[in-house]
Amino acid sequence: MFSFRFFIIMLTITLSPITHSADILDIYNRALKFNNDLKIVTNNNEISKEKYNQTSSSLFPDIGISASTQEINTNKYDGSGTIGDYASETATLQITQPLLRIYFFDELNKAEANINRSQIEISSYKKDLIIKSAELYFSLINSNNKYQSELIKNEVMLLKYNNAKKLFSNGYITDIELNKHENNFNIANIELDVSLNELELVKQDIYIFTGRKALDIHNLNTVADIPFTNYEAESLISKAITSFDSIKLALLDVDISKHEMKSNRSQHYPTVDLIATYDYSDTSSGSRLGRTTRESNTIGLTVNFPIYQGGFQSSKVEESRYKYENAKVSLDQLRRTIKRDIIDKVNNHNLLKKLIIANKNRYESTNLDFITTRNGLQSGLYTNVELKDSEYKLTIAKHELISNTLKYLLMDLKLKKYSSELSVESIKNINQILIW
């Protein structure tokens, strides 16, 4: 039964679509090219630039030209003489140059702040991609390790079940005990299938994230030195309050809402425009006066002073004031949340270091037990079942060590983001402690 299952698994791998070797850096680089959310954030930056261009265009003159031509048919007239059909042509060129828009500078500052905000969003999202790339690859390692553990467990249960069948046939155990071993083996088969499914799901997640599946899995090297980092919560909080991307975005939200409020208030003030106009008209012969041509030039100032708009603009001012207050409240809440999250992550970071040391000691002890069992197998002190069981315990100890180490490394990446020290070099360093 086990041999048939193994055959099916190998056949599935063989017939799978072509996949590619990958590591954390590879996942990140492909995400930079193919991640749709990053494309959206990047496009938002271009949108904010165009919004700035639209706002700044108010500084420049508005130039327009209009022209018309008419054919006039006259069939009734007063007085002497004759009036026939005639044509009339007119053209107007108007230039409007804004001179005074008190709200303009606040609108321009708001547009500029939105550009800065979108640029920080891009930088922040790229850092998130670093963390997400590590999360996905760590999930791949853990899922693969779990699958390998379940394979060995399956072998242990099969050996125990086969031994139980021999003991039962010789009358050493009851059918109840035999059924127990059979059930354990069946459960092990199900758990093996579950772990394989989980592994495939992680591969699909990587495919969605990068556009291709990862085949080669570089496990963590348990022999390599793990770069332990010491963090002091209060110091990290001080850095985060000034340099964390989320704080920068929240500060810009406050700035943007402030400029919007000031702009709405300024809508109550007058506007002044310089207007220059050139008019031309030409009426062809058809009247008693004959053909007439007229040209005129005008230049002047237009002042628009809003007096009453049904309370609309006053309501806009109040609306923007509440938005401004909400932005400040959100900033304050974010600072509190960041402080709490940093303290929590630093504490977990320190606990994981202790747990890794304990896991290493357990792994070394379990490894000695495995070596002892393997050596004792030749002298008849231990059975194949005991050896396989010892191998399974060693595998579990190793994978727990790897799992907690990966949790530590991921936590370290998240803490680096708070201090703005997270970069591509961070995942390059992690790649160095993988097995190639």
pLDDT value, residue 83:
56
Amino acid identity of residue 75, one-letter, is: N
Domain hosting 174: range is 2-34+102-269+311-431
pLDDT value, residue 293:
84
With tokens 């106009």, the residue in question is 277
Neighbours of 190 (CB within 10 A): 10
Distance CA 22, CA 205 (A): 14
pLDDT value, residue 259:
95
Considering the domain boundaries, does residue 318 fall inside one? Answer: yes
Identify any residues that bridge with 281 across adjacent strands, giving them in sequence order.
90, 294
How far, in whole angstroms, is CA 68 from its chain's centroid?
55
Write out the E strands in 284-406: 292-304
**What's the predicted TM-score (pTM) here?**
0.82
CATH assignment at residue 328: 1.20.1600.10
Amino acid identity of residue 122, one-letter, is: I
* The total number of structural domains that make up the chain: 1
How far, in whole angstroms, is CA 202 from its chain's centroid?
18
pLDDT value, residue 425:
95
Considering the domain boundaries, does residue 42 fall inside one? Answer: no
Distance CA 434, CA 219 (A): 6
Considering the domain boundaries, does residue 282 fall inside one? Answer: no
Could you list the pLDDT tens digit for every one of the 436 residues in the chain? Answer: 444 444 444 444 444 444 455 789 999 999 999 888 899 999 999 999 999 999 999 889 999 999 998 876 666 555 555 555 668 889 999 999 999 989 999 999 999 999 999 999 999 999 999 999 999 999 999 999 999 999 999 999 999 999 999 999 999 999 999 999 999 999 999 999 999 999 999 999 999 998 887 778 999 999 888 889 999 999 999 999 989 999 999 999 999 999 999 999 998 899 999 999 999 988 775 555 556 788 999 999 999 998 888 888 899 999 999 999 999 999 999 999 999 999 999 999 999 999 999 999 999 999 999 999 999 988 889 999 999 999 999 999 999 999 999 999 999 999 999 988 999 999 999 999 998 8
* CA pseudo-torsion sign 231, 219, 394, 182: positive
Q: Order of strands across the sheet with 271-283?
A: 62-72, 86-100, 271-283, 292-304
DSSP 214: B
pLDDT value, residue 193:
97
Contacts for 257 with CB less than 8 Å, ≥ 6 apart: 320, 323, 324, 326, 327
Considering the domain boundaries, does residue 289 fall inside one? Answer: no
Considering the domain boundaries, does residue 209 fall inside one? Answer: yes
Considering the domain boundaries, does residue 68 fall inside one? Answer: no
- What does DSSP say about strands 62-72 and 86-100: parallel, antiparallel, or unpaired? antiparallel
Amino acid identity of residue 212, one-letter, is: R
Distance CA 84, CA 367 (A): 115
DSSP-based helix, strand, coil % in the chain, nearest 5:
65, 15, 20
128: nearest Cα among 428, 434, 422: 422
Distance CA 136, CA 133 (A): 5
Distance CA 103, CA 260 (A): 9
Q: Are 341 and 415 in contact (CB under 8 A)?
A: no
pLDDT value, residue 194:
97
pLDDT value, residue 76:
54
Considering the domain boundaries, does residue 63 fall inside one? Answer: no
Q: Are 36 and 66 in contact (CB under 8 A)?
A: no
pLDDT value, residue 21:
52
Write out the E strands in 204-362: 271-283, 292-304
- CA R_g for the chain: 38
Backbone φ and ψ for 423, nearest 5 degrees, come out as -150, 180
pLDDT value, residue 213:
78
Q: Are 181 and 161 in contact (CB under 8 A)?
A: yes
Residue 335 burial by Cβ neighbours in a 10 Å radius (0-12, 13-18, 19+): middle
Contacts for 142 with CB less than 8 Å, ≥ 6 apart: 399, 402, 403, 406
Distance CA 407, CA 262 (A): 48
Q: Are 87 and 70 in contact (CB under 8 A)?
A: yes
pLDDT value, residue 211:
83
pLDDT per position as a tens digit, 365-412: 999 999 999 999 888 899 999 999 999 999 999 999 999 999 999 999
pLDDT value, residue 15:
40
With tokens 């008019």, the residue in question is 279
Q: Are 137 and 215 in contact (CB under 8 A)?
A: no
pLDDT value, residue 45:
95
Considering the domain boundaries, does residue 66 fall inside one? Answer: no
